[in-house]
Amino acid sequence: MVNAEMIINATTQNFEAEVMEASFQTPVLVDFWAPWCGPCRMLMPLLDKIVGSYNGALRLAKVNTDEEGEIAGSFGIRSLPTVVLIKDGKPIDGFMGAQPEGAIRAFLAKHMPIEQAQEPEVLDEVGEQEDLSEAVAKARDDLAADSKSEPAQAILADLLIRSGEVAEAQQLLNGLSESGRESSEAARALTRLNFAQVAQEAASESVLLGALATNPQDLKARYQLGAQMLHGGRAEAALEQFLAILKADRGFEDDLGRRALIDAFKVIDDDALVGEFRRRMSTLLF
pLDDT of amino acid 232? 86
Q: Which of 162, 173, 172 is nearest to 268 (CA)?
A: 162
Is the distance from CB of 240 to CB of 96 less than 8 angstroms? yes
How many C-beta atoms lie closer than 10 Å to residue 190's C-beta? Answer: 20
Residue 82, number of CB atoms within 10 A of its CB: 24
Write down the architecture of domain 4-121 according to CATH. Answer: 3-Layer(aba) Sandwich (3.40)
Contacts of 265 (CB under 8 A, 6+ apart): 274, 277, 278
Helix (H) or strand (E) holding 49: helix 38-53
SS3 28: strand
pLDDT at 113: 63
Name the DSSP class of 14.
Answer: T
Q: What is the pLDDT of residue 2?
A: 47
Output the pLDDT for position 3: 56
Helix axes 271-285, 256-267, angle to 10 degrees: 160
Sheet holding 90-96, edge to edge: 7-9, 59-64, 28-33, 82-87, 90-96
The CB density around residue 133, as the number of other CB atoms within 10 Å, is 12
What CA–CA distance (Å, rounded) separates 67 from 63?
8
Q: What positions carry a catalytic annotation? A: 37, 40
Calpha distance 21→15 (Å, rounded): 9
Q: How many CB atoms lie within 10 A of CB 254?
A: 8
Q: What is the pTM of this model?
A: 0.59
In this prediction, the residues of the chain whose per-residue pLDDT falls under 70 are 1-4, 113-130
Domain ranges of the chain: 4-121, 124-200, 202-285
pLDDT at 80: 92
Q: What one-character DSSP code corresponds to residue 60?
A: E
Distance CA 4, CA 274 (A): 38
What pLDDT was estimated at residue 127? 46
Q: Which CATH number is correct for 202-285, 3.90.25.10, 3.40.190.10, 1.10.287.130, 1.25.40.10? A: 1.25.40.10
